[in-house]
Structure 1
């Protein structure tokens, strides 16, 4: 008499265990409980002498960015003449304190506003003001007391 291969034996054993588990647990109530809307709705429908206090979530205050108090440097990495100057003018028009503009020598993947950690909110705001889609933490030789814009040819300002 030949014995079945170990793979067939393991398959039969796995099917048997799955069947036993299914039969043993099919009539049990679920162990998880949904609390979100059902509990809140039933609590609101129940009349009571005391009004139920609804928990209020205080919105986290957005950091206020004072544009005129944040220094900005604008660099042109696109080869488009005057791009840094025109972008600096736009930033100044909406209230940013542009302190310099120049050419950038190096590789940048796309137009980016770089920010030091303490000026992250300001960097996001500057990007919104100028329509720049990418922001990133300051790198390398960038100054840590200001925002740095590096412009590329992908989306000129």
Structure 2
């Protein structure tokens, strides 16, 4: 299934493990302009939530990314699937639980039954533009005088 992407939201229905790979690609494009660390954290959380749905047999599931805040400074990642439960360390979800607690500022579960969702909020950090290379003229930086110059 294709992505549904408008302005500040990206959504994909997950029904097969290969759907996550395509979602990762779309999410990276959706987060263009963010730091590498921010994109990496978001992709790890996406994998953790999708894994919870697959492990619990709660497919199809809908994964949605929404940029929130006055300047889209937060990313909300939510996975909606009937009856999906929060991961716990004793359920074999130790790695995914570690990802959520490490990468997300907030995370949890809302709803119940057919309207359950796991969600995580991550701060978005914009990438700082790369420093402009210093222009050199004849091997001398423009702000410096040659050593022989008074």
Interval containing the TM-score (normalised by the shorter chain): under 0.3
Greater strand share, structure number? 2
Greater helix share, structure number? 1
- Which protein has the larger Cα radius of gyration, Structure 1 or Structure 2? 1
TM-score, normalised on structure 1? 0.26
